[in-house]
Amino acid sequence: MKVGIFGASGRVGQLLIEDMRDCEDLELSVVHVRSKQNMAVGKGVCVTNDVKIFVDESDIIIDFSLPEAAQELFEELLLNPKPVVSGTTGLSLHQINLLKELSNKSAVLYATNMSLGVALLNRLVASASAALDGFDIEIVEQHHRYKKDAPSGTALTLATSAATARGLDIDSVRVSGRDGNIGERSSDEIAVMALRGGDIVGRHTVGFYNDGEFIELNHTATSRNTFSKGAIRAALWLSSQPNGLYGIADTLGLD
Ligand code: NAD
């Protein structure tokens, strides 16, 4: 199967190109870059800044770009449907809806984190949230200084799992900052705080705090290859799936 990488000149995109060299079952055929540039992508691989050509040249697409760019890709895919694995975070509701619409026409996998560890963390958080009723939940995420969206897509996914497990709507209970004389913490609120600095690949801590005890579940990504390798594994899995919208947990049989 011919793979197209969208966002190819980015941090994850460049690792995807490298890691594709070790993948025997998929072949890199085309990369999309924002402006045409000389990229070392290997013999026979097409480099384009034209989304239509990019989609035409791909049997399956891996997208790690930015929301505005991903929207352009999704709109093209609605005209020419192909399976897509997207890891782009910070998507708007409209952009998520485009992916949902696309999933009626092709297989779509969207995951704010492609790592096995975070997929499991998500399950652990849901279990802990339900079991530890009455414990206050707080989430802290840390990323490198270049990350543009905050809080991270992963932190929002974890927060949603924690809230849903208690029958709460995350949009009604999420707190994104505390400053000044704001009063006491309410019982249902879930703070999701973002720290930025250095070269941190990604660190997420979900804490459950009670009087007399607390438990913290933490995941730390030490290499960005975790995401690129996870996305390639997800693309291999998706290539044999029927149309529909999938998450990373589906590929791991965690349900
Ligand atoms: P990056 O900024 O290094 O790369 C972004 C890429 O998108 C670049 O190649 C850039 O040229 C391209 N791009 C930006 N605007 C464009 C436009 N208008 N048209 C065409 N191309 C455009 O970012 P990154 O660190 O590689 O991360 C990419 C995305 O993946 C981000 O949303 C990030 O949060 C997300 N991410 C997801 C996971 C995951 O596991 N799901 C892991 C890490 C990062």
3-class DSSP state of 97: helix
Whether the CB-CB separation of 119 and 237 falls below 8 Å is answered with no
CATH of the structural domain 2-110+224-251, one choice from 3.40.50.300, 3.40.50.720, 3.40.50.1100, 3.40.50.150: 3.40.50.720
State the distance from the centre of ligand 1 to the C-alpha of 210, rounded, in angstroms: 38
Strands 213-221 and 202-210: antiparallel
Q: What is the pLDDT of residues 68-97, one digit of tens each?
A: 999 999 999 999 999 999 999 999 999 999
Q: What is the pLDDT of residues 184-231, one digit of tens each?
A: 999 999 999 999 999 999 999 999 999 999 999 999 999 999 999 999
Task: Return the residue whose CA atom lies nearest to atom 3 of ligand 1.
Answer: 10
Cβ of 169 closer than 6 Å to ligand 1, yes or no, is: no
Mean pLDDT value of segment 236-247: 97
Only one residue has tokens 């999309």, namely: 32
Mean pLDDT value of segment 46-56: 97
Cβ of 4 closer than 6 Å to ligand 1, yes or no, is: no
Q: What is the pTM of this model?
A: 0.91
Query: Residue 10's pLDDT band (boundaries 50, 70, 90)?
Result: very high
**What is the Cα–Cα distance from 8 to 17, expressed in whole angstroms?**
7
Is 100 designated active site?
no
**What is the Cα–Cα distance from 65 to 57, expressed in whole angstroms?**
18
Tell me which of 6, 12, 95 to substitute to probe ligand 1's pocket, judged by most ligand atoms within 8 Å of the beta carbon: 12
* pLDDT given at position 246: 97
102: which residues sit within 8 A by CB, 6+ positions away?
Answer: 74, 77, 78, 81, 84, 108
* pLDDT given at position 255: 60
Name the fold adopted by 116-221.
Dihydrodipicolinate Reductase; domain 2 (3.30.360)
Query: Residue 42's pLDDT band (boundaries 50, 70, 90)?
Result: confident
Only one residue has tokens 């996870």, namely: 230
pLDDT over 70 (residue 36): no
* pLDDT given at position 253: 79
Q: What is the pLDDT of residues 116-170, one digit of tens each?
A: 999 999 999 999 999 999 999 999 999 999 999 999 999 999 999 999 999 999 9
State the distance from the centre of ligand 1 to the C-alpha of 146, rounded, in angstroms: 11
Domains of the chain, by residue range, sit at 2-110+224-251, 116-221
**What angle separates helix 153-165 from helix 116-131, to the nearest 10 degrees?**
30
- In residues, how long is the chain? 255
